[in-house]
A and B are shown apart, each in its own frame.
Chain A
């Protein structure tokens, strides 16, 4: 599994992976940037020209927050912001589902598995796998919600019995790992969709579970390594960001830059995860004869062209 992890790391630095990360980042930036611009207008309208604007350089001012919450028109403004956020999140999730087929395909290319799709554009591949990927995503949301509820109930009732906070951390880590493991099963399901051309979410998940059954240690350790990498990148980002002096215009710009590096880092760890899982999948899969699909992506792309 270490071999797969290293394979994944290497693949993440190859062109198809880098292009994928760039697309994902750009799309995410559009969504978040739109929201940030609206928030900026909201804040600036209220504070520009006042000393509060200066104090906000030091972060959220509690008095300003209280006043803003109580100010006339805040309700309407807040509803507008909340509506925008509520609209943007599902829209982005739909886009993410759309992207997942392209991400897995690109990662396979980076690993040298899917040479026959090299002429197909990233977005064409995204579109090609949208149906099955959407089905896998819906199934994943349902399963993850169920697992999350189980973890929450366990945390309340069957948590550690001693009073040491360190055990709470262990418990927290265990819960996070359980969720990661379940999520990684769905990664294998997505890989199945692309590698084996499966169109059914249940069939893809079943195949992923069988893979986990054949290589339990590999799946478990790889999930752990990917979680550690993701956590490490996140901790590094938090550390870096907390060391940026945000009280000046230059500092705010640096904060934005570091923040975006952190976001890119998050996408990179996701690509590493997919790539390492794809590597493991390639070694462990009982690859069925490739299911005949209605149209080959290459042909489809040519058709589109």
Chain B
């Protein structure tokens, strides 16, 4: 069947999907409605509605007995809502590492993303002064709150009542002094020797969501505690940050370096500025190498790429710059333009991989995850491209499209996993390798089967029939690291690949571009993404998103039987059965002995469907989803029927496993 005709059939089938009656007594997960909040018109040159403005002066003390950052912050906050605001709420993220009683440490048990919290490596943030521009001292009223879990020992969110409420549209200016005791590197931030990755480090105001923003019925603060499995959510604004650190330290940060000036005691002050971002992070290290490259392409913002690479990884400097450049190019061409003038890529030092693989606006950390400690990265260490490409993707899904990572983690990690899958397959098509290390060195690499790298996400989201809960859920409510990874990254990744399979890559690309264009520098909900997908594809995709994002339906269609009928056997009947409770249009192809084929489509709604096919030439094969588009299918094995199956496939696997077992026996017996 011609491709266009096939697409039409599939589109029609998708329409059927929307009206499919799926009986499931369990309610769908409640999700925030679509946003109705209208961002005020922006002045020329301004990309976002700048609700916040931070001006911070910070001094790093790297001495072994200190490891502190002392700062003064001038925060200007505008009330974007139509109601007066009588209290402010702040994130004090570093207090997650204050002791083992914080919600973060209790939930993580001191282990996160394969990284272990080092004994005695605690850190914290202390607000030492907080005053209004009028000189009103707010510190005595500051109290810690714990809106998510009632953990009285958690100090990651604080509220400050105001004597005079901030009127709608008015601003308040605060002068805040704070002191960070940096933790030993763990969960994105901290120090290791003289390497400092300073993230989540300053008193950061929460998001006061106006009526209609993220579907909110009434205005209010959205300021969650720092959890083991949660990331961030903040308002866009401007950052003007002066970092004073030892002059011989290399310092990299969010935004543009506008000035460097000497300071007392062998220190130097680096001045960074960046508009239209919602966070600021920086790195300081006494040994990093500083590499630069300019990305320049007609029609796009020129970007100064900076790679801060550990000396032992010096040989990978060009490679790291290449990856960053290719990442910028791919996203520019496929999703939308990157508007910032800088991108800084940080290579964490050995022992500091807890800060690797993280995203901040215009500032990402990569690192070598797949090599052993002390390992020189192999020339094709498979994780480096993946990590940098993934973290760069967050410049879009988190950085510019400012979804709420606390409440709808799939919107940044899941969408990013999807674009990572596409991009990696296109930019580094032969990327997948298994590496073996010995004595701290990669000694062998084995290419994996040529699959889109994202297909391996199915491993992490084992289809099967086990229910895993809706993907849309508060991130700290997922079960452990795995549950979060599965529901925030892998399941949405393969669900979006399935959606792409049905919509077609071109339509899906339009969906992604439209979603980015419409929601950049704003705060969308899941529903906003769903609405864009339906609008751009011209179909109501509610059924799809309800089944896989708001519920945990299991998708599995199987060839139940194939048999010739009638005395002359010139007709064959085959039955496709729906084993799961999810419904998706089914496309099947029948192949006859003479090589001719027939295609069948079914809306997939009934429990089973009988098909009849002319079999003057006997049927040799019936296959559901022959192009493997339905990544969500729980059981691909039952998708096909083959007449006279050769058993050599099973025999090959069994004999190979048997041979391997035989070798193991012989090797082991050599020792006795």
Q: Which residues in A have some Cβ–Cβ distance to B below 8 Å?
A: 28-29, 31-33, 35-37, 39-40, 43-44, 46-57, 59-60, 62-64, 66-72, 74, 85, 88-89, 92-93, 96-97, 100, 137, 140-141, 144, 155-156, 159-160, 163-165, 167-169, 171-172, 175, 183, 246-249, 251-252, 255-256, 259, 262-263, 266-267, 270
Contact = CB atoms under 8 A, between A and B. Distances in A.
B313 to A, nearest CB: 10
B653 A171 contact: no
B665 A53 contact: no
Contacts of B664: 89
A288 B69 CA distance: 77
Q: Please report whether the interface of chain B is mostly helix, strand, loop or mixed according to DSSP.
A: mixed
A163 to B, nearest CB: 4
Nearest to B375: A163
Contacts of B663: 262-263, 266
A183 B642 contact: no
B634 A36 contact: no
Where chain A touches its partner, the secondary structure class is helix
A263 B374 CA distance: 37
A131 B325 CA distance: 68
Contact of A62 (B451, B634, B645, B657): B451
Interface of B: 312, 372-374, 376, 378, 437-443, 448-449, 451, 455-456, 458-459, 462-466, 621, 623, 628, 634-642, 645-659, 661-672
Given A43-B650, A44-B647, A155-B439, 18 more contacts: A32-B661, A33-B658, A43-B654, A49-B642, A50-B638, A50-B641, A54-B649, A57-B649, A64-B637, A69-B464, A70-B465, A85-B661, A92-B669, A159-B439, A160-B441, A163-B312, A262-B659, A266-B666
Contact of A96 (B443, B652, B672): B672
A57 B636 contact: no
B502 to A, nearest CB: 18
Contact of A140 (B439, B455, B665, B671): B671
A240 B658 CA distance: 17
B524 to A, nearest CB: 31
B498 to A, nearest CB: 13
Nearest to B559: A50
Contacts of A163: 312, 376, 441
Give the 8 A-B CB pairs with smallest separation, nearest first: A36-B658, A70-B464, A168-B441, A56-B649, A70-B462, A40-B654, A32-B662, A159-B439
A20 to B, nearest CB: 13
Given A69-B462, A89-B664, A56 B443 contact: no
A112 B602 CA distance: 78
Nearest to B562: A49
Contacts of B437: 168
Contacts of B465: 70-72
Given A168-B438, A168-B439, A270-B670, A72 B649 contact: no
A63 to B, nearest CB: 5
Nearest to A94: B672
Contacts of A259: 655, 659, 662
A223 to B, nearest CB: 13
B439 A36 contact: no
A47 B650 contact: yes
Contacts of A262: 659, 663
Interface centre among B312, B373, B376 (most CB of A within 10 A): B376
Contacts of B448: 62
